[in-house]
Amino acid sequence: MQEKSNYKKTIRKEVLLKGKGLFYGEEVILRFLPLEEGLTHFVRIDHPDRPVIPASVEFASHRYHSTVLEKDGVEVKVVEHVLAAIYGLGIDLVKIEIKGEEPPILDGSALPIAESLMEAGLVEIGEKREEWEPDSPFVVGEKDSYLLVTGAENCKFGYFLDFPHPLLNSLYYEFVFTPENFLKEIAPARTFGFLEEVEPLRKKGLYKGGNLQNTVVLDRTKILNDSLRYPDEFVRHKILDLLGDFYLCGRYLKKGFIKGVKSGHGTNLKLAKRVKGRMNMEKVMEIEEIMKILPHRYPFLFVDRILFLGEKKAVGMKNLTMNEEFFQGHFPGYPIMPAVIMLEAMAQVGGVLLLSKTENQGKIAYFAGVENARFRKPVRPGDQLITEVEIIRLKKRVGRVRAVATVAGEKVAEAEFLFSLAER
């Protein structure tokens, strides 16, 4: 293994892998190629237009206990083992060509992929690696299924697994992350599933490539395989999945401890979204500066801080307390933020983005239209509404933006706004 370095790495030469996919059982070709700029991505070479799907959390979802990447209707399924191998070896950039809908399952672990990439060799590119460490502890997830993130002197990952099964009851494992430890302790751990789930999946046309050579299968009391690679192989594989999903935030954990408690891909992706959001918060605009740009005042100013302000993108924050006037009547006994107020808060972040530009300073942004508005979950007192806005089109007198609002990394609303830009 190479010594620890703060510079980004890619692979030295091409790597080719072949095998059957887990879900569809079809023969798949997977080719890794060196990449020196941009973002790690998949290329579906079985499509005539060879669509590119970035390995980034904005394009990720979870389905059937696996992680899926999708862009413009084209998917790559079950990507977590590939991404875990890349993260585990410290690879920042790689191009992945795939002929099929999912990578080959191989032996059900990340080891064959990691060993092939290691054999190809790693090479540094002349750019500093993007790293992250938590500045304060936080939790992502629900009461019984969550990820706890805390500071630490080193880089650690852990997991507590607790299923109502004699072999999956109260298992815990943690390890100090290094590429060497990953190869030894985590990469060989295979995926696992329950016999009672196999038949329903196959009736849906799934799990056609699964067998006892690539999946540890359990009935109600025992495993059906000959043996385990580790006595706690199950919990180690959950850490493997966590590493693969964490890669999608685009940052390596520099220092800190990420501990999963009965969590899965959905919670992992929430963490990746939250980490990526924090890393993007490069410029802070406090309320005094916001009030120099927006004409809004109490009780109709719904942006407390701008966390990031770029050329085409801004991220704004609104802290919600029970003191908000609209909570008093919407609704008594169960206060939720009105959808129209949520739209206004999102639009105000868009206004800051448009009016902060040199050519628009001193102007006012009038609401001209709202399209494709969707509201996913209620927003309540104590929530922190984070709005991410991106410019779709900007002309001298008209601006169109797309906004997505989240709470704790989970999408609560989205819409497109049209603004008319005029002199005050």
DSSP H or E segment with residue 252: strand 252-253
Exposure of 378 by Cβ count < 10 A (0-12 exposed, 13-18 middle, 19+ buried)? middle
Which letter does DSSP use for residue 102 in this model? S
Q: Is 342 helix (H, G, I), strand (E, B) or coil?
A: helix
Annotated catalytic residue 330: yes
Nearest to 167 by CA among 228, 241, 226: 228
Which letter does DSSP use for residue 285 in this model? B
Q: Distance between CA atoms of 214 and 211, rounded to whole angstroms?
A: 6
Say how far residue 22 (Cα) sits from the centre of its chain. 22
Question: Residue 106 in contact with residue 132, Cβ under 8 Å?
Answer: no
Question: Residue 386 in contact with residue 406, Cβ under 8 Å?
Answer: yes
Annotated catalytic residue 165: no
Nearest to 31 by CA among 105, 99, 77, 127: 99
Radius of gyration of the chain (CA): 23
Question: What is the per-residue burial (b if ≥16 Cβ within 10 Å, else e) of 20-41?
Answer: bbbbbbeebbbbbebbeeeebb
Biggest CA–CA distance in the chain, Å, is: 76
Q: Distance between CA atoms of 416 and 411, rounded to whole angstroms?
A: 15
Say how far residue 295 (Cα) sits from the centre of its chain. 35
Catalytic residues: 265, 330
